[in-house]
Amino acid sequence: MAKKTPEPATGYLKDEEDRDLLEACCIDFDIMSLSPLGDVPDTRGIKDKMRRTDQGRINSCGGFGFAHAAQVAMFNQTQVWRYFHAMWSYRRAQEESGIRGDRGSTITGLVKAGKKGILPEDFDGDGQPETVYRPDYDMRFPDGAAAVAAQWRVGYSLSMRTFDEMLRFMQTGQGAVVIGGSWGNWRPDANGIANTYRGGGGGHARAYVDWITIRGKVHLVEANSHGTRYGDKGFAYHTKKFVDTQGRSSSFSGIGISDMQHPEVRRVVPVDEWNRRTFAGGLPRPF
């Protein structure tokens, strides 16, 4: 009998999530009251910028989910792509929630930590990372990391559960959505599409970072942390049916994070369009 490949680490502590506290971290706003500005592209091409990430055997999925969402939010602000540090977000989230050891984190802890600072891998903007993620829970950060992280903060956060809310959040230029819920009873198909959600299993955090139109239907692009063996080389495409069923689960938490202090419509631009509009040094040309 062939040896079974062990499941990757998960790490969203769904049973320890304080959902009242999580709601208190969010603003009270109906995202559906905003409308997208200008023509909405079929997709922004965000996944072409993102790394295919693998958390290894560390329970750092929440750190990855938050870092993925932060990359989109800060790209919306600056039009310069930055990678944010998954282990920094993971361990700072644990500190906010009083969690010790490599057990995982909560979405509440991630949001609270993100409002104090998120750490880019490239500290000084020269394009060379000072530190990158390693599957080592006890990894040390360089001197000055906290001061750098304090310069990058989440502005507001917004609780949401439905496909339409998450799509509107992204299409109005607010940011991206970090999500946590049950894991284990569903997988995307060979094309990366997930249509049927079945709850159960341990907790796992991910992020919705973009949307994509497949055969005339819009899907949300999920960035995961189980490496290229998952879905479409690390990404999956979730249907409206999947997202709405998942959102009704008692274990689900979905939080949009934004660089903005208050919701305001901002035009979303495909990544390749920004590439055409940038100088060699990475500074955006004005529209």
pLDDT of residue 287: 29
The domains found in the chain, sorted by start residue, are 14-30+37-275 (3.90.70.10)
pLDDT of residue 125: 73
Cβ neighbours for 103, distance < 8 A, ≥ 6 positions apart? 11, 13, 59
d(CA 180, CA 52): 19
- Cβ burial 15-26 (10 Å sphere, 16+ → b, else e): eebeeeebeebb
> Taking all residues of the chain, what is their mean pLDDT, rounded to a whole number?
91
- Cβ burial 179-202 (10 Å sphere, 16+ → b, else e): bbbbbeebebeeebbbeebebeeb
Q: Is 158 helix (H, G, I), strand (E, B) or coil?
A: strand
Do the bridges between strand 235-238 and strand 193-194 make them parallel or antiparallel, or are there none, so unpaired? parallel
Confidence of residue 282 (pLDDT cuts 50, 70, 90): very low
Q: Six-digit token pair at 6?
A: 């062990």
Side chain identity at residue 140, one-letter code:
R
Confidence of residue 277 (pLDDT cuts 50, 70, 90): low
d(CA 206, CA 220): 12
d(CA 219, CA 223): 13
Cβ neighbours for 137, distance < 8 A, ≥ 6 positions apart? 58, 60, 87, 102
Residue among 146, 147, 148, 141 nearest 125 (CA): 148
Confidence of residue 279 (pLDDT cuts 50, 70, 90): very low
- Provide mean pLDDT across the span 20-27: 96
d(CA 274, CA 78): 11
Tens digits of residue pLDDT in 43-102? 999 999 898 899 999 999 999 999 999 999 999 998 888 999 999 999 999 999 999 999
pLDDT of residue 201: 85
Tens digits of residue pLDDT in 195-222? 999 988 899 999 999 999 999 999 999 9
Instruction: Confirm if 62 and 90 have CB atoms less than 8 A apart.
Output: yes
Contacts of range 33-38, beta carbons closer than 8 Å, 24 or more positions apart: 34/168, 34/172, 34/263, 34/265, 35/172, 35/265, 36/168, 36/171, 36/172, 36/265, 36/268, 37/172, 37/173, 37/265, 37/266, 37/267, 37/268, 38/267
Predicted structure pTM score:
0.92
Q: Is 97 helix (H, G, I), strand (E, B) or coil?
A: helix
pLDDT of residue 5: 43
